[in-house]
Chains A and B, each alone.
Chain A
Amino acid sequence: MPLSYISRRLFHLLLILLGVSVLVFLMLRMIPGDPAQLLLGEYARPEELARLRTQLGLDRSYPIQYGIYLQSILRGDFGTSVRTGAPVVDEIGVRLLATIELSLAAMFIATLLGIVAGVISAVKQYSVFDYGSMFLALIGVSMPIFWLGLMLIYLLAVKFPILPMMGRISMGLEAPAVTGLVVVDTLIAGQLGACGDALRHLLLPACTLATIPMAIVARITRSSMLEVLNQDYVRTARAKGLGEAVVILRHALRNAFLPVVTVLGLNLGLLLGGAVLTETIFSWPGLGRYVVDSLMGRDYAAVQGCILIFAVLMALINLIVDLLYVLLDPRIRVHA
């Protein structure tokens, strides 16, 4: 893969992020309401308000405020949360890991079940399984996930209390902070009971978040497999006398994987968006819920930090998908 291609993409990514930071900065300033007033309350004295505005840098011109902000970001300083008084970087760090844990679990479920359903549907085209799974996939992409989350809570946490309805781990249990991913940390520490508890907490929100990507992956895997299964090289593989499993898994699925990888990458972006809603429903202490709370509380620094992180993640995912594309299909490498 040519280095110039990667460096051009990285430069492009930097430009987009710079643009995003300006856009977010300006949009936040357009939100009605004075953060100083919001912090000190309705009855704050004018001199107190003026002091806080100076402290927060709100009395300076926009270009200067943006310049200071950009310099700080480059130093890794995202400012201080006006709601909690803690550095935004620290707050984002903890919450980002919670969101990553949830998104990875959802992605795992969506990929595994989506691909299996898609492959079986394609191999047994026009069967009851094919019709059934594709109908379910259609329902999946039409589903308001916040509704699905609520219904799962009612069914599996209230009516039949099999799974916990909120949080990452039960009260009284604690995970040692190593990676920040509770399931992994409890496993590393050998606390199998706590690990099981964390997994049970993860299951409902992860399944909720996985629904739409799973449906999309199943549909795209099916159509991609159908295309590949008609190709000459698959017929050749069968003619050579290879077992059906080998033909499907090694010859067909590998070639059908390209569109699936693209969709998986696009879905990671979808998951980040979905996390905002899922985390709200399940009181999951992640970045999605944090950004909504920060926006409601006019916590400029926190919102700016979170949205930049979201944008970086989205941009990185797109970049990785494009690079994977080149790696998976050697024909693209020539043109890259």
Chain B
Amino acid sequence: MPRLEIVSNLGRNRSATVGLLIIAVVLLVALIGPRLAPYDPLVPAPLDRLKGPGPVHYFGTDSLGRDIFSRVLYGTRISLVIGLISVAISLAPGTLLGLLSGYFGGWVDSLIMRGMDMLLAFPAILLAIFITAILGPSLPNTMIAVGIVYIPHYARIVRSSVLSLKEQLFVQAIAHLGGTHARILGAHILPNALPPIIVYATLGMGTAVLQAAALGFLGLGAQPPQPEWGAMLSEGRQYIQLAPHVAAFPGAAILLLVLGFNLFGDGLRDVLDPSLRSR
């Protein structure tokens, strides 16, 4: 499908438009958020502990008196970076493994896919917790853990595309004309296998943000005093009876960002991969 047609179809798709709008706003906040933040997100103000939302502190303050609105704004950048890097970590090896597995078949396919099956035998969050426990709790390790967990998903998607593409006439013609495996895979199969990968990566951004926030919530992700949304929620849990706003706003921010990626991903799927269209 020509690029112009894709853009015009995306523009007509309501789900994609709303999703893109949310992502654009979040991106803008990530870029200029620190300038908009009325307070320093890390400096405690003991006299202002657990204040409710109001004109001075729009989202209230946390147990150390820090302004939650400022912390949520700063956290936007962290969450977006987590989403992007985690997806990149899953995407690169996942795509390569899927390409090799689908193209060469035989023992290469069996070896790679059985390895992927093993990773898929764990519930995702459990595997992520496990990997973080090995690497140690920190933000970069969270991204690595979430990235590793989703490698099999990309490998499977790419493999299934390659399986059908390699039987197509144009690929077989290039092979007969003496095209090398690397050239066939890189220049001919990969570009044609891209639409489902792009769709899954967009939806995967939302999943990665959710999983990273879950690790932060369990105390295995970003460490205090970093204003990561999951870690902020974890702190809010202790004060849920006294000051529910401490947990409410970071959670709502996660929901909004994930909703944006899901809406845009759904729209992209409808446009790029009509066979999977959700009615």
* A23: chain B residues within 8 A (beta carbon): 118
Cβ of B122 under 8 Å from chain A: yes
The one of B125, B136, B258 that contacts A273, using a Cβ cutoff of 8 Å: B125
SS of A interface (majority) = helix
Among the stretches B43-51, B167-175, B178-186, B210-218, the one at the interface with A is B210-218
Known: A273-B123, A280-B218. 16 other contacts (CB 8 A): A138-B263, A144-B210, A147-B233, A154-B244, A158-B244, A222-B279, A226-B279, A269-B123, A276-B123, A276-B125, A291-B129, A292-B218, A307-B122, A310-B123, A314-B121, A314-B122
The one of B117, B123, B130, B210 that contacts A27, using a Cβ cutoff of 8 Å: B130
The answer to whether A150 and B240 have CB atoms under 8 Å apart is yes
7 inter-chain pairs at a CB distance below 8 angstroms, sorted by A residue, are A16-B117, A31-B133, A125-B279, A143-B255, A276-B125, A296-B133, A311-B121
Among the stretches B23-31, B59-67, B246-254, the one at the interface with A is B246-254
The answer to whether B122 and A144 have CB atoms under 8 Å apart is no
The answer to whether B279 and A273 have CB atoms under 8 Å apart is no
* B233: chain A residues within 8 A (beta carbon): 144, 146-147, 150
The answer to whether B255 and A147 have CB atoms under 8 Å apart is yes
* B118: chain A residues within 8 A (beta carbon): 16, 19-20, 23
The answer to whether B136 and A142 have CB atoms under 8 Å apart is no
The answer to whether B217 and A277 have CB atoms under 8 Å apart is yes
Cβ of A315 under 8 Å from chain B: yes
What separation, in Å, do the CA atoms of A143 and B251 have in the docked complex? 9
Cβ of A281 under 8 Å from chain B: yes
Question: Which residues from 252 to 278 on chain B have a C-beta closer than 8 Å to any C-beta of chain A?
Answer: 252, 254-255, 258-259, 262-263, 266, 278
* B279: chain A residues within 8 A (beta carbon): 125, 222-223, 226-227
Say yes or no: A139-B259 contact (C-beta < 8 A), given A151-B251, A273-B124: yes
* A141: chain B residues within 8 A (beta carbon): 262
The answer to whether A158 and B262 have CB atoms under 8 Å apart is no
* A277: chain B residues within 8 A (beta carbon): 125, 214, 217-218
* A273: chain B residues within 8 A (beta carbon): 123-126
Q: Report the minimum CB–CB distance from B98 to chain A (whole Å).
A: 19
The answer to whether B126 and A146 have CB atoms under 8 Å apart is no
What separation, in Å, do the CA atoms of A31 and B233 have in the docked complex? 26
Output the residue of A226, A273, A291, A296 with the most chain B CB within 10 A.
Answer: A273
Q: Report the minimum CB–CB distance from B248 to chain A (whole Å).
A: 7
Number of A residues, CB within 8 Å of B = 50
What separation, in Å, do the CA atoms of A139 and B262 have in the docked complex? 9
The answer to whether B236 and A27 have CB atoms under 8 Å apart is no
The one of A32, A151, A276 that contacts B244, using a Cβ cutoff of 8 Å: A151
Q: Report the minimum CB–CB distance from B233 to chain A (whole Å).
A: 6
* B244: chain A residues within 8 A (beta carbon): 150-151, 154, 158
Give B254's nearest chain A residue, CB to CB. Answer: A144
Q: Report the minimum CB–CB distance from B56 to chain A (whole Å).
A: 23
* A270: chain B residues within 8 A (beta carbon): 123
Give B277's nearest chain A residue, CB to CB. Answer: A223
Question: Which residues from 269 to 291 on chain A have a C-beta closer than 8 Å to any C-beta of chain B?
Answer: 269-270, 272-274, 276-277, 280-281, 288, 291
* A295: chain B residues within 8 A (beta carbon): 129-130, 133
Say yes or no: A291-B126 contact (C-beta < 8 A), given A151-B247, A219-B278: yes
Cβ of A30 under 8 Å from chain B: yes
* B124: chain A residues within 8 A (beta carbon): 273
Cβ of A73 under 8 Å from chain B: no
* A148: chain B residues within 8 A (beta carbon): 251
What 9 A-B pairs have minimum CB-CB distances, sorted nearest first? A147-B251, A273-B123, A142-B258, A142-B259, A311-B121, A154-B244, A19-B118, A273-B125, A272-B123
The answer to whether B121 and A20 have CB atoms under 8 Å apart is yes
The answer to whether A314 and B237 have CB atoms under 8 Å apart is no
* B251: chain A residues within 8 A (beta carbon): 144, 147-148, 150-151
Give A312's nearest chain B residue, CB to CB. Answer: B121
* B258: chain A residues within 8 A (beta carbon): 142-144
Query: Mask for A259-273, Cβ within 8 A of B = 1, else 0?
Result: 000000000011011
Cβ of A153 under 8 Å from chain B: yes
* A226: chain B residues within 8 A (beta carbon): 279
* A19: chain B residues within 8 A (beta carbon): 114-115, 117-118
The answer to whether B133 and A158 have CB atoms under 8 Å apart is no
What separation, in Å, do the CA atoms of A296 and B134 have in the docked complex? 11
Q: Report the minimum CB–CB distance from A218 to chain B (whole Å).
A: 12
Q: Report the minimum CB–CB distance from B30 to chain A (whole Å).
A: 18
The answer to whether B123 and A314 have CB atoms under 8 Å apart is yes
Cβ of A64 under 8 Å from chain B: no
Question: Which residues from 223 to 250 on chain B have a C-beta closer than 8 Å to any C-beta of chain A?
Answer: 230, 233, 236-237, 240-241, 244, 247-248, 250
Cβ of B206 under 8 Å from chain A: yes
Cβ of A50 under 8 Å from chain B: no
Cβ of A15 under 8 Å from chain B: yes
Give B219's nearest chain A residue, CB to CB. Answer: A296
Say yes or no: A311-B278 contact (C-beta < 8 A), given A143-B255, A158-B240: no
The answer to whether B114 and A15 have CB atoms under 8 Å apart is yes
* A32: chain B residues within 8 A (beta carbon): 134, 136
* B218: chain A residues within 8 A (beta carbon): 277, 280, 292
What separation, in Å, do the CA atoms of A24 and B118 have in the docked complex? 10
* A291: chain B residues within 8 A (beta carbon): 126, 129
Query: Mask for B116-148, Cβ within 8 A of A = 1, else 0?
Result: 011011111110011101101000000000000
Question: Which residues from 292 to 325 on chain A have a C-beta closer than 8 Å to any C-beta of chain B?
Answer: 292, 295-296, 307, 310-311, 314-315
